Amino acid sequence: MFTLAITRRPGKNFAQGITTSKLGVPDYPLMLKQHTAYVETLRNLGLEVTVLDALDNFPDAYFVEDTAIVTPELAIITNPGAPARRGEEISIKSCLKQYRKIIHIQPPGTLEGGDVLMIGKTIFIGLSERTNQDGAAQLGHILESQGYIWTNIFLPEGLHLKSSVNYVGKDTVLITEKFFPLPVFQKYNKIVIEKEEDYATNTLLVNDHLITPKGFPSTRMKLSALGFPVIELEISEAQKMDGGLTCMSLRF
């Protein structure tokens, strides 16, 4: 069960963040409204949620997930692969150090939390444009010393690993068609997401509830078969900035 979450308020300049999406210019008041609903949802699920202030020089900083990996034992502060995002991790460290012992990923290693999928004591690390082999190996070795096992995955597509695979409980992963054949997920049950709904793969399991983006009816239906309550959240404005539900919080 998660008891805490760290989030960050999107800044006025959030539309200047990195994006490849062609979904149009995002709207700030709507972004804030959707972010507030996201925070409220986590609170309703019993988490104590910290909302950090926006960072003026870092328009993507509300995607806090990329800046740290938090396990029950440690907080590993990342070295983001996107140069424009390097520096966001400093204020996350100040916040996390009250909860966990801190360890850093060191350059030339790069790592972003969106590439790290933890399923119990098994860690999958995506090798992407943001996470290199050195960064992945550093994380792997840190976690190995805590009894975890880890595997690298060369991403066949996508920004981060969790853009394409997420754990939704009951030994089941939500996975895109493209990632479905990867042997590393062989031992899990799989819910395969149709191409048109790829974005909904970024669904978040929090305290036996599934939070999923609104507007993906086929995924919504498939999720209900798992038996957890499903909460749909409108996050169109984060989607325009290549972000999703997992990216906007650190949960532990």
Residues recognised as catalytic? 160, 247
> For ligand CIR, which residue has the nearest CB?
114
Site size with ligand CIR, rule: CB under 6 A: 18
List, as one string, the DSSP characters of 15-58.
Answer: GGS-----S----HHHHHHHHHHHHHHHHHTT-EEEEEPP-TT-
Nearest to 80 by CA among 91, 66, 69: 66
- Residue with Cβ nearer ligand CIR (89 or 186): 89
Instruction: Show the binding pattern over residues 183-222: x = contacts ligand CIR (CB under 6 A), - = does not.
Output: ----------------------------------------
Residue 19 in contact with ligand CIR, rule: CB under 6 A: yes
Residue 17 in contact with ligand CIR, rule: CB under 6 A: yes
Contacts of ligand CIR in 73-92 (CB under 6 A): 82, 85
CA dist., res. 73 & res. 103, Å (int):
11
Least Å from the CB of residue 75 to ligand CIR: 16
Contacts of ligand CIR in 89-118 (CB under 6 A): 114
- Residue with Cβ nearer ligand CIR (109 or 243): 243
Preceding amide of 229 cis, omega within 30: no
- Stretch of residues binding ligand CIR (CB under 6 A), selected from 11-19, 88-96, 143-151, 165-173: 11-19
Residue 63 in contact with ligand CIR, rule: CB under 6 A: yes
Residue 160 in contact with ligand CIR, rule: CB under 6 A: yes
Least Å from the CB of residue 8 to ligand CIR: 12
Least Å from the CB of residue 208 to ligand CIR: 23
* Whether 241 contacts 21, CB under 8 Å: yes
Residue 243 in contact with ligand CIR, rule: CB under 6 A: yes
Residues 6+ apart with CB under 8 A from 47: 2, 3, 4, 5, 206, 207, 251
* Whether 100 contacts 75, CB under 8 Å: yes
Q: Tell me the C-alpha to C-alpha distance, in Å, between residue 245 and each of 33, 103, 234, 239.
A: 14, 25, 10, 9
CA dist., res. 191 & res. 175, Å (int):
6
Q: Which listed residue (8, 34, 45, 65) binds ligand CIR by CB under 6 A?
A: 65
List, as one string, the DSSP characters of 121-140.
Answer: TEEEEEE-SS--HHHHHHHH
Binding site for ligand CIR (CB under 6 A): 17-19, 60, 63, 65-66, 82, 85, 114, 159-160, 163, 241-244, 247
